[in-house]
Structure 1
Amino acid sequence: MAEGEEIQSEAAVVVQSSLPAGRVKRIMKLDKEINKINSEALFVISNATELFVKFLAEKSSEVAVEKKRKTIKVEHLRIAVKRHRPTADFLLDSLPMPQPAAAAAQVLSKNDRPRKSSDSGSVPAGARRIDSFFQKGP
């Protein structure tokens, strides 16, 4: 009898993403090739995204601990991405380049924001940067 109860309790577990489904769906629809999104596909992509972000956070945290820091910075994320080859293949060129030591020492005021350069890295022929996908076109 205990085995039957255990199976029922395992079947009752509901996995739910912490990402808002509407926002994930809106981001998916930015791709012009996608017209309709199945609820199962939305569920899988939401959970995969959540797992990927968790993976990046864990690896970045490990790098921060190695560097004896309590705060995760972009440099830690960049190192974590470099160490994981599949992630580095598509994400590394979208991360901001590390600043020189002299520029990093300067403290920016709240009104000063770093500017993005439009040509901050070369992309192979036939490929595009992942951040270009999220920009609205003409």
Structure 2
Amino acid sequence: MPAVNVVEVNPALGVEAAPKKKREKREPPKVERPPGKTLLPISKVQHIIKADKDIAIVAKEATFLICCATEEFIKRFGEAAMALAEREKRTTMQYKDMATVVRKADEFLFLEEIIPWTLPDAPAKRKVKASNILTGASTMLDQFVVKPNEAAGEEPRIIMNEDGTIGDSEMADDFV
């Protein structure tokens, strides 16, 4: 019996669509550092090192070793957080994965202040009552926005001072 292809037709467009394929899992590409080279730009690392006023001169070999150590740190931290995400059957690493790794692994405990644990139970956002907006009823904010003179129906008097500044009449009477 011959294989039958199922073709979906979109009535809105009148075009045949190809059948949906399941997403194939592919292995991430292996990034290898050639000997004597680093994945991080050495010039940027040198600028970061020079930002510390206490360090006068740093040898190129020392800068290279700092780059290699930084790469290894990022690699280990990323792998630990990704392993946690995979345990939860996710393919995307999230902030909570990194925060959990910082709390659980002694190796990354020094990052506790930089990557704080976020509270999983964030307070719910307060909803604005639609009835106040639609009816035009006054809210608590109106007490602070509306001036007392305007609330009583009086128009505030604005006068021009001799020096060119604008002020209201009540303030001008205080200085006379």
In 2, distance between residues paired with 1:86 and 1:95?
Answer: 14
Q: Which amino acid aligns with 1:73?
A: Q
Match of 1:40 among 49, 61, 67: 61
Looking at CA atoms only, which structure, 1 or 2, has the larger radius of gyration? 2
Structure 2 residue runs without a partner (length 5+): 1-33, 126-176
**1:27-53, CA deviations, whole angstroms, 9 ceiling, x for partnerless residues?**
112222111110010010000000100
Number of the residue aligned with 2:152: none
Cα deviation code 1:73-101 (max 9, x no counterpart):
1110111122221321x211111441443
Taking only aligned residues, the RMSD between alpha carbons, in angstroms, comes to 1.9
| Structure with the largest fraction of strand | 2
> Shift in Å at residue 54 of structure 1?
0.5
Residue 92 (1) aligns with residue 105 (2): no
Aligned equivalent of 2:121 = 101
Tell me if structure 1 keeps the 8 A contact 2:85–2:92.
yes
Listed as ranges, the matches of 1:1-138 within 5 Å are 14-88=35-109, 90-102=110-122
Matched residues, number: 92
TM-score, normalising length: structure 1: 0.59
Bigger RCO (CA 8 Å, 6+ sep):
1
Return the TM-score normalized by structure 2: 0.47
Secondary structure in 1 aligned to 2:112? helix
Tell me, yes or no, if the aligned pair for 2:102 and 2:115 is still in contact at 8 Å: no
Give runs of ≥4 in structure 1 deviating > 4 Å: none
- The percentage of aligned residue pairs carrying the same residue is 32
Corresponding residue of 2:4: none
**Structure richer in helix, relative to its length:** 1
Q: Which amino acid aligns with 1:69?
A: R
